[in-house]
């Protein structure tokens, strides 16, 4: 679904929104697992499977284990479960939430992070995102390569304050919720700072010009776009029907 020939950016954006909607409403482990497998194949073709594996190991796996412990062992049920405590129900709920998070991350990487900057700007232009908002989004997405350095800084700071006894993997995983919160705030702050810098240097106008130029790209296929939308619509139908 996410491989060449590429669809026009507006088709990519609409298909991705439909995919996100289907992920949120899907309740079948088999359906979510099959969809994740399909997107992983696409990531492998794009050469981004290793990057997603690092993301899954650093974020999805610790979150999934935490959900298993909370809902499977501690809560032993789902948030709306009024019946007798059930470890199976809690584990199933945690599995579904984890698969949703993994699928959301995989689709986002395949649909957006795989795009070169001109096409990404064109995609945002297609949804009428201009000026400062465009600069904040583009700059924030380009902060991902800096995240490892930020994580190391967070770990070093917590070790210096005596909040971490060591740097072992299990200890670092326990610190993940605090690190994610700090990373999010840092990414948003740096995105705003970069937007201010770009506005002062005239780069925002250049981004708008870049998006307008990419708007007429001839390497996009309307047929591929229609196929994307059709598959996204089928995914939503399958998710809504609860199959299998």
Asked whether residue 2 is assigned to any structural domain, the reply reads: no
pTM: 0.68
Question: Looking at the domain assignment, is residue 4 inside a domain?
Answer: no
**Is the residue at 1 inside a domain?**
no
Tell me the CA distances in angstroms from 34 to 105, 113, 151, 228, one per residue in order: 15, 22, 32, 17
- Written as six digits, the tokens of 64 are 């999934």
Give me the number of domains the chain comprises: 1
CA dist., res. 158 & res. 164, Å (int): 6
DSSP type of residue 144 = G
**pLDDT tens, position by position, 180-202:** 666 666 666 666 666 666 666 56
The structure tokens listed for 25 are 């409403």
Domain range spanning residue 188? 9-241
Angle (CA) 124 129 132, round 5°: 115
* Residue 50 in domain: yes
Residue 147 lies in a domain: yes
Cis peptide before 5 (omega within 30 of 0): yes
Asked whether residue 200 is assigned to any structural domain, the reply reads yes
pLDDT tens, residue by residue, 4-56: 566 777 788 888 899 999 999 998 999 999 999 999 998 898 888 888 998 88
Rounded to whole angstroms, the Cα distance separating 29 from 244 reads 9
Report the alpha-carbon distance of residue 159 to residue 186 in Å, rounded.
Answer: 19
pLDDT tens digit sequence for 128-161: 776 666 666 666 665 555 565 666 676 677 677 7
Question: 3 lies in a domain?
Answer: no
Asked if the structure places residue 154 within a domain, the reply is yes
């Amino acid at each position: 679904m996410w491989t060449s020939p590429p669809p026009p950016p507006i088709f990519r954006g609409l298909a991705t929104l439909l995919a996100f909607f289907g992920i949120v409403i899907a309740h079948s482990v088999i359906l979510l697992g099959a969809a994740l497998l399909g997107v992983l194949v696409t990531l492998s073709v794009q050469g981004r499977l290793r990057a997603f594996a690092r993301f899954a190991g650093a974020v999805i796996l610790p979150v999934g284990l935490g959900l298993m412990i909370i809902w499977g062992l501690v809560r032993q049920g789902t948030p709306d479960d009024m019946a007798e405590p059930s470890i199976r129900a809690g584990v199933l709920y945690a599995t579904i939430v984890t698969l949703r998070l993994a699928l959301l991350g995989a689709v986002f990487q395949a649909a957006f992070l795989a795009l070169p900057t001109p096409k990404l700007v064109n995609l945002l232009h297609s949804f009428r995102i201009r000026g400062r908002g465009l600069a904040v989004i583009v700059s924030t997405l380009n902060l991902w390569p800096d995240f490892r350095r930020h994580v190391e800084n967070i770990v070093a700071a917590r070790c210096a304050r005596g909040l971490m006894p060591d740097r072992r993997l299990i200890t670092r995983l326990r610190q993940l919720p605090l690190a994610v919160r700090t990373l999010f705030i840092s990414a948003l702050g740096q995105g705003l700072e970069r937007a201010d810098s770009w506005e002062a240097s005239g780069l925002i106008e250049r981004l708008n010009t870049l998006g307008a130029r990419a708007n007429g790209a001839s390497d996009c296929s309307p047929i591929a776009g229609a196929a994307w939308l059709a598959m996204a619509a089928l995914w939503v139908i399958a998710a809504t029907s609860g199959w299998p």
